[in-house]
Structure formats: structure tokens, C-alpha cells
Amino acid sequence: MNTKESYAVVTGASQGLGKAFAENLAEKKINLILISLANQNLRELSLQISETYDVKVHYYEVDLSIHENVLKLTDLLNVSFDIHILINNAGLGGTGKFVDASSNYINNILQVNVMATSVITHQLLPNLLKQPKAYILNVSSMAAFSPIGFKTVYPASKSFIHSFSIGLREELKDTNVSVSVVNPGAMKTNLNVSKRIEKQGFLGRLTLLDPNKVANASVDKLFKKDSVILVNPISWMIMNILPVWIKLPLITNAVKREMNL
């Protein structure tokens, strides 16, 4: 397919897995629209990718936790670009006691993880349906397969993404748009994250992933139209085989070690 004038949209693109997705797609000569919060060096990254891979890169600094921002962004993208790939990677998490969480903290997780993913997909879907072939990749998490104490809202939001993706895939199965969902575990996005996860003990170290490897495997399987993309079979086995009464305290205790509780 000719992608010279069409674009891939990547949210949460400034670092970690989002950045790895952007670089992987650019290496395949796919033009990019990168979206991230302000003050995350998105302009510099966009210029670097454009010069390195000789592709067109546009960027937008947007707070996706604000519903009006999402609508304005998608309206702009629809009138400006042909889009054949959408990667909903932006997401918020966090660790702490639910009773101590602010209402803004809870709202932001739900707005970014659930609402922004759903609304961006909804608003850009007519554009995707106009293309010869199109792909949607939603980034869920291994946390989607189990509730977790001290992370309560995050795994619930990722369960939504997993279910939403599979349902939408079924709805669109007779169209040109293929929908996939990837469920990675924790990733080495930076030194602080790696150290925090390693505090969880053996389980944390066992499931820690490299963002570039996750992106490479995910994009490869996206183009093969895989439904559920697994990048860590060990994590998948733990999360799906163990009954909830075993895995819930097991994972929660690992999180408590991370929190030094």
C-alpha cells in the first residue's frame, strides 16, 4: 500500500513505548503524527525522527485528560491528514492507597486511559475507514488480567481497553480496519522505573520488558492482524493460569514492596 501521504498517529509519543513505536514506524518510512503533553521535548524528538528516517513528522502537545482537547485535536487531524494507523499508547498509572488518592488523580487516569482512547478511536475511525488498509493498536497491560491492591483504578481501566479492543475488532471484522490490543508488562522506560519495579522482587525483575522490543513485536503483529498481542509469555501465563485468589495477593504484595509498606 502507498503510505507516502498517509500518516500514523501515536499518542504518548515523547518517551518510553510511544517513542519506540514512533521510531519503529519511521524506520518503515511511515509518516507520523506524534501526540504528547507539553514540555516533554516532543518537538526535538519529531525533528530527530524526521531527519534520521526521512519521513514527515507533525507533532501536537495536548493534555488528553481534557475532553475538549481530544475533540479539537481529532477534528484538526481529520481535516488535515489521511490516517491509516492509530496507536493509542497514552496512559496514566500510579501506585498508592486509594483512600489517599485525590479525585483529580482518579479522574485523570480514567479520562486518559478510558475516555481519550475511546473518543480518539471514535473520532478518527471514519478517516481510517476511508483508507485502503488501516490498523488500530490499543495499548492495554498485563494488569488488565487481575485486580491489584494499591493500583485499583489502573488495572480496571486497562481491563476496559482490552475488552473495548476485542469488541471493536469483531464489529469491524468485515471492513478494512484491523484492531489489535497489546498487553505488555512493566517496561524499562527509564532508570527510576526500572529500580521501582525491581523492588517488587523476583516477579518484577522477571517481567520487566524493553520498550523497543515491545514496539518491534507489536508493530510486526499489528500488520499481521493479530487480535491479542502477547510480548511476555511468562507474565501472560502467570496472569491467566493462576486463580485470582492466588495472583491478587501475590501481585499486591509485590506492589507493597515497591512502596516499602
pLDDT at residue 4, rounded to an integer: 63
**Number of neighbouring beta carbons within 10 Å of residue 120:** 23
pLDDT at residue 94, rounded to an integer: 87
Are 178 and 232 within 8 A, CB to CB?
A: no
Which own/partner pairs from 143-147 qualify as long-range (CB within 8 Å, at least 24 positions apart)? 144/183, 145/183, 145/236, 145/239, 145/240, 146/239, 146/244, 146/247, 146/248, 146/251, 147/244, 147/248
pLDDT at residue 237, rounded to an integer: 79
Tell me how far apart the alpha carbons of residues 62 and 58 are, in angstroms, rounded to a whole number. Answer: 13
Pairing of strands 228-229, 6-11: unpaired
What domains are there in the chain, each with its CATH number?
6-192+209-233 (3.40.50.720)
Averages of pLDDT over each 10 residues, the chain, 261 residues: 79 96 97 97 97 97 98 97 97 93 96 98 98 97 93 96 98 98 78 57 64 96 96 80 88 85 68
pLDDT at residue 200, rounded to an integer: 52
pLDDT at residue 134, rounded to an integer: 98
